[in-house]
Amino acid sequence: MEKLLSSVNSDYNNDKHNWYEIERQVTNIAKAGFTHTQWIHDWEAEYIYSPSEMFQARDLLKDLGIHAHSLHASEGGIRTIKENGKKIFQNRYRLTNIRKDYTSTNEYCRLAGVDLLKNRIDLCSHIGASVMVFHMQLPWKLFEESPQDKEDYYRQVCKSLDELEPYAKAAGVRMALENLIVTPWQVQEEQFDRMFNRYDSDFLGFTFDSGHATLMCRHDFYYFLRKYHKRMYATHLQENESISEELAKDDTAILEHDKHWVPMDPRGHGTLDWAEIAKWVAKSPVELPADFEVGIYGKDEQDEMEQLIACRKTAEKFYQMVLDEKKKGQS
């Protein structure tokens, strides 16, 4: 019988910036029986991994027998802040407080942002990950108000990706753009079309975040999945409840509904058709197992571990669903 594979995010419990918590979570992932992880620690802000830390991450995974086939990079800066007790996502206009931003019109900041992404490509090489997920935050209100600023933005993005392409290819790492929250789906679609028309599939692909899709693609949760599945190299599989149209322009409400529940929760959380998602994952070039990106907390350590084991069993179930779909396609 074929071994069932499973993958969960390395920061399933928290993204605290210390090695004690990193090691605790990755160790728990191994104890719970997962075979793979997506390394997501430091997915935000401007932290640079030193070579010794890359070896530390490599050895931690190796000693525990956990494979990392993907990693979540940071595009620099912190965009989720609290203002008057409410979560605010700062992406309607360009932020001025980011020192490493590969989209920046300031050439020094842009080059620093390229260095940040190269740092994560290096980390991929150390831990054995072949896919690097990243964000392209789109200042969409600025785009609406100034077509010239939009073209300036894309010019800088392409300058950065042109520089990253040979570096990533030499490392054997594909970069994969993720669909986002708090960004209209039409703006994201233009981004994907521009980038995929310009860059080949050996360099640039797509990451499908199922939870983000329920919030931003309310007309069709699977729209991006169907359109871009042939370039899908990574997944962030999670469940959310979608939102009403009246809340769709409320950034705080969107952020609060990004729950990161475990898929196929027997309690009935969420709205997604996982058979449909399995069908498109099976048609994609994603290296299995597909990555879950969930939040697991628990009232104590035992409860956390029990939830983590239940998540692993669900990830194995989804893995089998994808295998079954692949067999259907071959018959």
Cα gap 159→151, rounded to integer Å: 12
Can you give the pLDDT at residue 44?
95
Q: Nearest 5°: phi and psi at 75? A: -95, 5
Query: Where do the structural domains in the chain lie, given as residue ranges?
Result: 7-330
Can you give the pLDDT at residue 194?
98
Can you give the pLDDT at residue 1?
62
Can you give the pLDDT at residue 85?
80
Whose tokens are 């918590």? That residue is 21
Cα gap 29→124, rounded to integer Å: 19
Cα gap 157→292, rounded to integer Å: 28
Cα gap 254→251, rounded to integer Å: 5
What are the tokens at 89? 């996502």
| Other residues' Cβ atoms within 10 Å of the Cβ of residue 150 | 18
Q: Which segments of the chain have a pLDDT < 50? A: none
**CATH says 7-330 is which class?**
alpha beta
Cα gap 101→93, rounded to integer Å: 14
What are the tokens at 131? 């896919």
Beta strands in 156-278 (DSSP E): 174-178, 204-209, 232-236
Beta strands in 97-229 (DSSP E): 131-134, 174-178, 204-209
Cα gap 66→146, rounded to integer Å: 47
Q: Alpha carbon of 274 to those of 4, 159, 259, 271: distances in Å?
A: 18, 38, 17, 9
CB under 8 Å to 163, separation ≥6 — which residues? 114
| Other residues' Cβ atoms within 10 Å of the Cβ of residue 306 | 14
Can you give the pLDDT at residue 268?
64
What are the tokens at 306? 């029990």
> CB of 284 within 8 A of CB of 258?
no
Residues of 117-129 as b/e, b for ≥16 C-beta within 10 angstroms?
bbbbbbbbbbbeb
Whose tokens are 């990693």? That residue is 71
Q: What is the DSSP letter of 238?
A: -
Can you give the pLDDT at residue 267?
65
| Other residues' Cβ atoms within 10 Å of the Cβ of residue 153 | 21
